[in-house]
Structure 1
Amino acid sequence: MNSTYSAPLCQAPDPEIRSPKIAFTTGAVDCHAHICGPAVEFPYAKERIYTPPDATLVQYQSLLAMLGIDRAVLVQPSVYGTDNRAMLAALASYPNQFRGVAVIDPSITDTELESMHQAGVRGIRCNVVDVSDKSAGLPIAQLTAIAKRIQPLGWHLELLAHVNEYPNLASTFADFPVDLVFGHFGYCHAKHGINDKGFEGLLELLRNNKAWVKMTGAYRICDGDFPYEDMRAFNYEVIHANSQRLIWGSDWPHVMVKKQMPHDADLCDLFGSWITDTSLRKTILSDNPCMLYDFPAITTNQ
């Protein structure tokens, strides 16, 4: 098991059992979470840059129960590379409760993609944050090639990118073949401000129904600790741009957090303080995810 622990171990999520004050709507979806481990069953990739403590399906189900969240989208974490077995095993265990976002090798066959679709995968994740050479800009040719492969399945492409690094973001993706999903508010650090050209491009894509934004990971893109006041303006801007294209997620188990570890109940309540209108909460927590991830609609009483 030496390969399992060859990269630095990162913080574990806060173990305190505490429910949020906010009551989530029936059918709410946590649209961004990762299953990591057990490492003895699903070993991590040797080339990873960190080692997460096991954050298993059993632990995550307990978290969802504690938070009062019904459904979830499991996103392939970087520690597994293109080995999606842990995520796919979770989907197989709870096919009606979970959807998945995979990371694939370009050599994957159409038959394998179709098999993933039957398993509950509805998108592909591409990470351009950790690429070594950013001088050429976004790898648009490669991203377009992937998009054309997944277009017949009705999937989207989730992009982990610092949008502030791409001032021409809106024009670059104006005619992209599939829906784009940007994690962590576009991963634009709060220090760049809401007038950053790349973030403005993201807002334009939102307004034109060309992109979705995950309201996740506020703690990753500001310098302060909870309640991450620097991110409030970004929250307002994406809502004002297009609330029909917003989704929320916990980002559990909060890998690679190098400051105060957030408690998931507090993150739920932060969403509640930012989104006070109950109808808008339902839109972001349930209606929008149903559309994007192909969940069945659930009638709510809230």
Structure 2
Amino acid sequence: MDPDYLPFHPNPSKPTFKAPPGAVDAHCHVFGPAHLFPYAPERKYTPCDAPKEKLFGLRDYLGFSRNVIVQASCHGKNNDALVDALKSAGRLARGVAVVGQNVSDDELKEMDAAGVRAVRFNFVKRLVDATPKEIFLGIAERIAKLGWHIVVYFEAQDLEDLIPFLKQLPTIVVVDHMGRPDVKKGVDHPDFKRFIVLLAENDNIWTKVSCPERLTVSGPPYDDVIPFSRMLVERFPDRVLWGTDWPHPNMKSHMPDDGILVDVIPRIAVTEELQRKLLIDNPMRLYWPEERSAP
């Protein structure tokens, strides 16, 4: 673990908000354990181990039913820890992998059988080295044939240059953490309006209204981030997802209490209908469509 790395909260509070039965934490990670699943040599940071047992224990403690586990950059393109967690969870978890252009069809099929349903394209320069967009487009064409979708991670200042690329992607596209807006600028700033317009004009683009702890200036209970999340939930109720982002890699300001993060939900999805869409209907439609269509 890097000397300045903040480990996850050892004793999160029990949330006041009770998630509805079937609720999904649609953005979280597993790290290591390193002796079983070594971190990637090209990684930009070394986290503390955050194994599947801890994640599933937190899921139950917070009152959630399922997880969507996202491959993080510290494991690079080796998805072994992710696949292992998915196999352990069975139908209670789905995955978002990171792959390169040389991934084989057999590898993709194996990940699909384990529960992977998407790939992640990371454009955050401090986390990953740049990948030519042509490579991402080639990967997108291949995974579209499996019925997978694409998750993209970028920061607000890079959105304008990325828009033409995002419009080329052939699948549903899920934007991590609202595109990381600068909350100091407010919801009426042109930067956030650009993101709103992108969603309004492209029905295949979704977003996660997650990570207030990363975006806040004022700190918990994250009052400065609430207007951004709430606006997206109310404008695009059928295209929003929520997740804890546990174990909160690379946090510098503070390590969030996951119970407090859960208590943000009723402040951004203020009715039971919006909460159900955010926590159940939308993630089930995207990650477990076979269960929604079953008699």
Question: Could you tell me the TM-score, scaled by structure 1's length?
Answer: 0.89
Partner residue, 1:25: 20
SS of corresponding position for 2:91 = coil
Indicate yes or no: 2:163 matched with 1:206.
no
| Structure 1 pair 178–148 and aligned structure 2 pair: CA distance change class (3 A) | same
Indicate yes or no: 2:9 matched with 1:14.
yes
SS of corresponding position for 2:251 = coil
Partner residue, 2:283: 289
Q: How far is 1:197 from its partner? A: 4.3
Deviations 1:13-60 (A, max 9, x none): 111153211111111100111111111111111222222111111111
Q: Contact between 1:163 and 1:169, CA under 8 Å: does it hold in 2?
A: no
Count of residues in Structure 1 that have an aligned counterpart in Structure 2: 292
Partner residue, 1:109: 104
Q: Contact between 1:167 and 1:197, CA under 8 Å: does it hold in 2?
A: no
Partner residue, 2:82: 87
Cα distance in 2 between the residues matched to 1:171 and 1:44 = 33
Q: How far is 1:200 from its partner? A: 2.7
Q: Contact between 1:32 and 1:248, CA under 8 Å: does it hold in 2?
A: yes
Q: How far is 1:132 from its partner? A: 9.5
Q: Contact between 1:156 and 1:178, CA under 8 Å: does it hold in 2?
A: yes
Partner residue, 2:141: 148
Picking from 226, 240, 250, the partner of 1:256 is 250
Indicate yes or no: 2:238 matched with 1:244.
yes
| Structure 1 pair 42–9 and aligned structure 2 pair: CA distance change class (3 A) | farther
- Higher mean alpha-carbon deviation, 14-23 vs 85-94, is at 14-23
Q: Contact between 1:31 and 1:249, CA under 8 Å: does it hold in 2?
A: yes
- Higher mean alpha-carbon deviation, 193-202 vs 285-294, is at 193-202
Partner residue, 2:181: 188
Q: Contact between 2:68 and 2:96, CA under 8 Å: does it hold in 1?
A: yes
Q: Contact between 1:248 and 1:285, CA under 8 Å: does it hold in 2?
A: yes
| Structure 1 pair 78–29 and aligned structure 2 pair: CA distance change class (3 A) | same
Q: Percent identity?
A: 34
Partner residue, 1:74: 69
- Computed over aligned residues only, the root mean square deviation of the Cα atoms, in angstroms, reads 2.4
Cα distance in 2 between the residues matched to 1:192 and 1:171 = 24
Picking from 52, 55, 58, the partner of 2:53 is 58
Cα distance in 1 between the residues matched to 2:265 and 2:250 = 22
Cα distance in 2 between the residues matched to 1:291 and 1:195 = 31
Cα distance in 2 between the residues matched to 1:204 and 1:142 = 27
Deviations 1:231-263 (A, max 9, x none): 122113212331100000000001111112111
Picking from 229, 254, 273, the partner of 2:223 is 229
Cα distance in 2 between the residues matched to 1:276 and 1:240 = 9
| Structure 1 pair 192–156 and aligned structure 2 pair: CA distance change class (3 A) | farther
Partner residue, 1:163: 156
Indicate yes or no: 2:124 matched with 1:129.
yes
Cα distance in 1 between the residues matched to 2:168 and 2:50 = 38
Q: How far is 1:175 from its partner? A: 4.3
Q: Contact between 1:185 and 1:213, CA under 8 Å: does it hold in 2?
A: yes
Q: Contact between 2:117 and 2:287, CA under 8 Å: does it hold in 1?
A: yes
Contiguous gaps of at least 5 residues in structure 1: none
Q: How far is 1:139 from its partner? A: 4.6
Partner residue, 2:167: 174
Q: Contact between 2:13 and 2:259, CA under 8 Å: does it hold in 1?
A: yes
Cα distance in 2 between the residues matched to 1:55 and 1:175 = 35
Contiguous gaps of at least 5 residues in structure 2: none
